[in-house]
Every structure is written in structure tokens, then in C-alpha cells.
Amino acid sequence: QSALTQPASVSGSPGQSITISCTGASSDFGVYNSVSWYQQHPGKAPKLMIYDVSNRPSGVSNRFSGSKSGNTASLTISGLQAEDEADYHCSSFTGSSTLVVFGGGTKLTVL
Amino acid sequence: EVQLLESGGDLIQPGGSLRLSCVASGFTFSSFGMNWLRQAPGKGLEWVSFISNSGGSTYYADSVRGRFTISRDNFKNTVYLQMSSLRVEDTAVYYCAKRLSTVIAMGRGASDIWGQGTMVTVSS
């Protein structure tokens, strides 16, 4: 069982916006704002989309945004495109001996 | 091109040992911490272990602590994962991944470069 909780699936139509939540205990987030989001297409390695809650690595579309409130982090994808269909994983740096915890992943379907 | 290439995955019996390797290229390997992560078939990602850029600090998930050992050779641009007392539940694709930044406070826990993965199957 994963430490962080994500919905198993979400869906949206092209052009719409969707939000994926990621909920955990206070200890899962520690005192850090170090939540990351990864996109993973079938059979491929994960790709970093968001780090430190809301920062995008170079090359990631600004259609992807992140936020956090309390013990829930969120990934929002605006202007959905067919290529956004993938699994999305959240993770958090805990600062404890188990450095990083993940959610179970969310399958995004673009209708 | 920045690249990570894992190797060493295999079919192994429960209780056995295996060493995974990950060769890095295209960046200053000795400047970055490195992670091993895994993904069981049809499941989510699981962080396994981290080693600092110098190799002086290592961390492990509770599920592997005492059985797995992470190490690195900065002269060979390679990070290793020595796995022993393997269990059926260790079956997964194992990825090595580069820490996002050399700045401690930036991108804690985030990995920006991943290898293609190597499959470890533990079964009798």
C-alpha cells in the first residue's frame, strides 16, 4: 500500500482541464515543500513534470502546474491533449530514513 | 546526451543475490546524488535507495534495508545496487535516476533523468 493516496483514474476531453490529487499524512510531507510529479507512458520510464510543488523543469509545457494545500498536493493539466494520456505519479521527500514516498499512480484518459 | 543505462536484471530464485549496474554519461556524475527506484508489474513507483554524490551518505526504504546495498564508483560513472536475500515481492523493473540538482534545497527527492530500467524477477 502506497504512503500517498491518488485517485486510480481520471478522465477529460481534449481542451479541458483536469486535476489529480495526492494526499498523505503530515509525516509524508515533512517540513519540506518537496512534492514531485511524474508522467509515465506505457512501457516507458517516468518523466519529471513538477518539482518542489510547483516548479517545472526546462522543457515541460506550462499546461502542467502544481500546488499544495495542507496535506494534499495537486497536479493540474490544462488544455488537455491526446499525448497527455499516461499514468501520473506523485512523490514527496519526507526527510526521514525513508527519504521518498510515492502515491499509487493515476491513469489519465483523454476521451 | 545525458543518459543512464542499467544492466544486471535477471530471473533469480528466492534467497538469491543480484547486482545491478547503472552507467551514466553526458553529465558530471560525481556532482549528483543517485537513486534506485522500482516498479512492480502493474503497480506504482517505489523509491528504493539513494546515495550522495560522494558516496558518503546512503538511505534505504524500509522494505529493502539490511538486504540491499547501494554504492558508486565515480571513476567509472557507475552506481550499483547489490541485492541479497531476494524475495518474490522484489520482482520489479528497477530504474536508476539522477537527482535533479546539486543544490541541496532544490528538488529534494526529485529525479530528472531516468534509465530505461532493468527487470528483476524473483521466482522459483
pLDDT tens for residues B66-114?
A: 999 999 999 999 999 999 999 999 999 999 999 999 988 888 999 999 9
> Is the separation of the CB atoms in B31 and B24 below 8 Å?
no
Amino acid A27: pLDDT = 85
Which residues in B lie closer than 8 A to residue A40 (C-beta atoms)?
45
Best CA proximity match to B24, nearest among B49, B1, B55: B1
Amino acid B104: pLDDT = 87
Å from A51 to nearest chain B CA?
6
> Is the separation of the CB atoms in B84 and B65 below 8 Å?
no
Minimum CA–CA partner of B93 in chain A = A45
| Minimal Cβ distance to B106: which of A52, A94, A100 | A52
Q: In whole angstroms, what is the distance from residue A53 CA to residue B77 CA? A: 30
Q: Tell me whether A106 touches chain B (CB under 8 Å).
A: no
